[in-house]
Structure 1
Amino acid sequence: MEKVDWWNKAKEAGLETGWFPTVILAQWQLETGNFTSANLLNNNNIAGQTWQPYMGTALKGTARPAAEGGYYIKYVDPVVGYVDFIKKNRRYAGVRLQSSEEGQIRAIAAAGWAVDPAYAEKLISILNRNKTQGFTLKEEDLSMVLNFDEDWQWKQLGDSLDGLYRKGLISDYKWVERAYTRRMSFSELAWINTVVAARQNGIEV
């Protein structure tokens, strides 16, 4: 597939996970060496996800590099597998609550996706290079409603916003209701997070 095809798939994955498609595309590129890695070819594994024994042998892929140990997860479809991995790992639940691309990238790194201490900086570099090639967020991307299909994801988002409302960091309860009723968009969540961050830093908005 061409890069633009992966970009379209990143948009689909973004709707499922709440991650910016620009961040997803950059991660896929880094983890696969621009979609050329043996892991992607042999395991349909697009982001270096590691197999764990509880997953069963059917998902056990090829061995990871000797320095890292373990095995990759083997998927039928790389994008479906990627989305499923994110949804099932609550350690990454805070990523979608970040209001910027860089914020999401740093949250991914902080949650331990990779051991490389320069992981975030490498992703940001790819992200910025992609922007010069036209792979940027468009208004229609941001206006799309988040497409979480797990009840706990929407509840966790709603509970988080409810907590911020009770602390006075969100002044209108309608945003909490939009989360609980599964009607919140990328742009709305990004705006809320920006306002909350400002208020947490003593800025009156």
Structure 2
Amino acid sequence: MSAAAFIAQIAPIAVQLRIEGSPIFPSVRIAQSGLETGWKIPPWNNLGGYKVGSGKLTPYWRGKIVTKGTWEVYDGKRVDATAAFRAYDSVEDFFRDQDLLFENKRYTGVRTAQSPEEQADMLQACGYATDPQYAQKLRNIIAAHNLKRYDTEAEVQKQMIGELKKQIEQLTAEQAQLRQRLETLESRARVDVPAWAREAVDAAVKAGIVDTPEGGSLDFYRMLTVMHRTGHIGNN
């Protein structure tokens, strides 16, 4: 898989998660995924070298494991090793599980980073990786593939969604106000049968012209009274 194809496949997920509130910049997420996998989505969908760790299950990691070769840097020296990594049903599950990891106090600097570059530095500073060049590699990938455009895309969509929510809330409030006004007007329009209209109303009910005499407006009662007095109701 080419880097471009890899990015095209995972960028929409990274952007969507950012819109939903993920602390990880899409550019950083994509760069890290490319760096950790060599621009290939493995069958186990772990794009960030996330080891099994405590082994505690989450809504997104259900206990599947894959054992793979890896390397770490200790005291400035590379050490090859084998480790157990989490395996996921989907790339999205991995990203969401990774966000749970970043909720730990250890990653406060990652969550609060104000730029992709700062977040790359914090990933290294917080110990996500032992490679002393990790942050710089992420920075280089972000620049080389113009990945910050996905940060912009996420922010624009967040703003659009925010504006739509405001408009919906405003329309909902206006609708509630109109409904209240309508109910008020309807209640004012309904009056008890006036004494001067009682004879006409009774005649109209008897003639089957109205089902019930209650709840009419004054205009309604005037109309029945006129019809009754002019012989259109009750004189048949």
Write out aligned runs for 1:67-106 (5 A).
67-89=80-102, 90=104, 91-106=106-121
Write out aligned runs for 1:22-171 (5 A).
22-34=27-39, 36=40, 40-52=41-53, 54-55=55-56, 58-65=63-70, 67-89=80-102, 90=104, 91-131=106-146, 135-138=149-152, 141=155, 144=158
Q: CA deviation at 1:126?
A: 0.2
Structure 1 contact 75–81 (Cα < 8 Å) conserved? yes
Structure 2 contact 15–154 (Cα < 8 Å) conserved? no
Distance 1:6 1:126 in 2: 15
| Structure 1 stretches lacking a partner, 5+ long | 146-205
Q: CA deviation at 1:81?
A: 1.9
Greater share of strand: 2
SS across alignment from 1:68: strand
- The alignment's TM-score, normalised by the length of structure 1, stands at 0.59
Distance 1:138 1:61 in 2: 35
Q: 1:127-156: CA deviations, max 9, x gaps?
A: 00111x7844326525627xxxxxxxxxxx
Structure 1 contact 51–59 (Cα < 8 Å) conserved? no
Structure 1 contact 50–71 (Cα < 8 Å) conserved? yes
1:14 aligns with 2:18: yes
Question: How has the CA–CA distance of structure 1 residues 32 and 45 changed in structure 2, closer, same or farther, with 3 Å as cutoff?
Answer: same
Cα RMSD (Å): 2.6
Structure 2 contact 27–148 (Cα < 8 Å) conserved? no
Structure 1 contact 6–25 (Cα < 8 Å) conserved? yes
- The structure with the larger Rg is 2
| 1:72 counterpart letter in structure 2 | F
Distance 1:134 1:123 in 2: 12
Structure 1 contact 43–62 (Cα < 8 Å) conserved? no
Aligned residues, how many?
140
Distance 1:61 1:55 in 2: 16
Distance 1:134 1:111 in 2: 22
Q: CA deviation at 1:84?
A: 1.5
- The alignment's TM-score, normalised by the length of structure 2, stands at 0.52
Decide which moves more: 80-89 or 92-101: 80-89
Distance 2:131 2:56 in 1: 25
Distance 1:142 1:96 in 2: 20
Identity %: 26
Structure 1 contact 7–135 (Cα < 8 Å) conserved? no
Distance 1:79 1:25 in 2: 12
Q: CA deviation at 1:43?
A: 1.6
Question: How has the CA–CA distance of structure 1 residues 53 and 88 changed in structure 2, closer, same or farther, with 3 Å as cutoff?
Answer: closer
Q: CA deviation at 1:53?
A: 5.1
Distance 2:148 2:53 in 1: 37
